[in-house]
Amino acid sequence: MFAAKPVNLRNQQVEGLFRLLFGIMMVVLIVPVLMIIVMLVYKGGPAFSWNFLFTFPTDGMTAGGVFPALLGTIWLVVVSLLASVPLGVAAAIYLSEYAQQEHWLTRVINLATINLAGVPSIVHALFGLGAFVLFLKFGTSILAASLTLAVMTLPVVIVASWESLQAVPRAFREACWNMGATRWQTIRQVVLPNALTGILTGIILQVSRAAGETAPIMFTGAVFFLPFLPAGVFDQTMALALHLYTISTQVPNVPESLPFGVALLLVGMVLIMNSTAIMFRMYLRGKKKW
């Protein structure tokens, strides 16, 4: 009486086909990434050395290292995080915890978020040039470039933070309110700590995009070459993404391993930053009790 019926066998076959299909799709996604990394390691590995990491470019950018570009990329990513994360989390808190009913302000914020996410990076570059370089008179500087990157990546932070706040059970909030806590005390002591892992997801995505963008920084703060390191946010800087574009398209007689080495360093730096954030997120997630 427990023998498999024809409909059960057919369902198992369909299930097996879909499992095979999804497995193939996963392989199709993973294999190109692995091939890119293997190619970068194979062709860019010979360029790696202490001199490559900690010296300035020489011989018209055809030799030497990438230290000023590496340091400049770190500057840009860190300052853009400092600008976008507080603003993005604050907007998400308002949308999740205070704007309980749909009205014109929440519609404007949602519309602006959706539009910002779809704007090409070159348009953000022109906006940064007009708003931060010319109007606010920051000049072509790390600050102007970082604020441009912050505006460009702000939708990712807002959406990730809003979804994380919404994922916190409402019972947590109600328990705090029943104990006499104010709305802000509940958000600060209960909601934000439990939503931190999801907020970190948005930060991880921002780091990846901010480190690899070229157009927004090309007009606002990054330069072809500087013989000195930036001393503050109002200085110009080199950046790995722009340096890679420059030596790949504008500089003749560049050794083949040099552009691949810069690309490998950029990918490695993003992976290190993301891995650190992911491990911290896993640590926080392990401390959750729900």
Sorted by where each starts, the structural domains of the chain and their CATH numbers stand as 50-286 (1.10.3720.10)
Q: What is the pLDDT of residue 33?
A: 87
Residue 162 identity (one-letter amino acid): W
pLDDT class of 7 with cuts at 50, 70, 90: confident
Q: pLDDT tens-digit profile of 89-148?
A: 998 898 888 876 667 777 777 777 777 778 888 899 999 999 999 999 999 999 999 999
pLDDT above 60 (res 1): no
Q: What is the C-alpha to C-alpha distance for residues 43 and 123, in angstroms, rounded to an integer? A: 34
Q: What is the pLDDT of residue 82?
A: 93
Estimate to the nearest angstrom the gap between the alpha carbon of 215 and the chain centroid: 16
Q: What is the pLDDT of residue 140?
A: 92
Q: pLDDT tens-digit profile of 239-271?
A: 999 999 999 888 888 898 999 999 999 999 888
Q: What is the pLDDT of residue 217?
A: 92
